[in-house]
Amino acid sequence: MVKAYEANLSAARRLAHVKPLGSLKEKVDPRHAALVVIDMQNDFCAPGGMVDQGGRDVTPAIEMAARLPTLIQSARNAGALVIFVRSEYSTEGNHYLSDVWLEQAARKQGDGYTTRPVCGSDLWGGEFYGEVRPLPNDIVVTKHRYNAFHNTDLDLLLRAHGIRTIIVTGVSTNVCVESTARDGFMRDYYVILVGDGSAAYSAEEHEMTLRNIDRFFGEVTTIQNLSDIWATKTF
């Protein structure tokens, strides 16, 4: 398997206009890698938040949130760019809402996104959850759809910093994390999805995305793998 990959990578290097990054260590080099933390907000993670009140199990998000600060600190220590992405969804007077978004919510989200506000900028539900929060100098991107690239400055920020790889974490694995990872790949970023640094509200949904990303859109790894690579400081 390794020999086949090396042969295929050699062919890829011949075809590519820019030399491909082959190993995980090459891809997550902090000089061109960004850790993207998606939607770690009370409405998606906390007891009493929108997802919890809607009857879904937020335990995976809570457990993941306890692990994520270690990865974030490892990224900071290594010098990787850290970007927090937050959602601002259904609130009164929100000019970004659409009929399509709201009809889907009404049909599949119960009273979430319609009669109950979700991730308001001035509401508890929109605040960052627990210890997973930006420092004053961290970049924060606000999105209004699942995909963190969609009509935001994320792509511009990444290219301004010379980023080639996005390391994607957060919630939920099969919705906003996957939507962002897919679009990142389409924009020619290397995509690394952190399996234990992301969470969905069921194991089936989580594992489904991990398999899909690994097969078609990027590479799946763990917090420990990334922390070990960054701790070597041999870049």
| Catalytic positions, written as ranges | 39, 143, 176
First to last CA, the chain: 26
List Cα–Cα distances, 105 to 82, 90, 117, 176, 207, in angstroms.
31, 10, 12, 15, 24
Identify the DSSP state of 129: P
Helix (H) or strand (E) holding 166: strand 165-171
Q: Is 199 exposed, middle or buried (0-12, 13-18, 19+ CB in 10 A)?
A: buried
194 touches 169 (CB < 8 A): yes
Q: Report the distance separating Cα 132 and Cα 129, nearest Å.
A: 6
- Cβ within 8 Å of residue 234, ≥6 positions away: none
Identify the DSSP state of 125: G
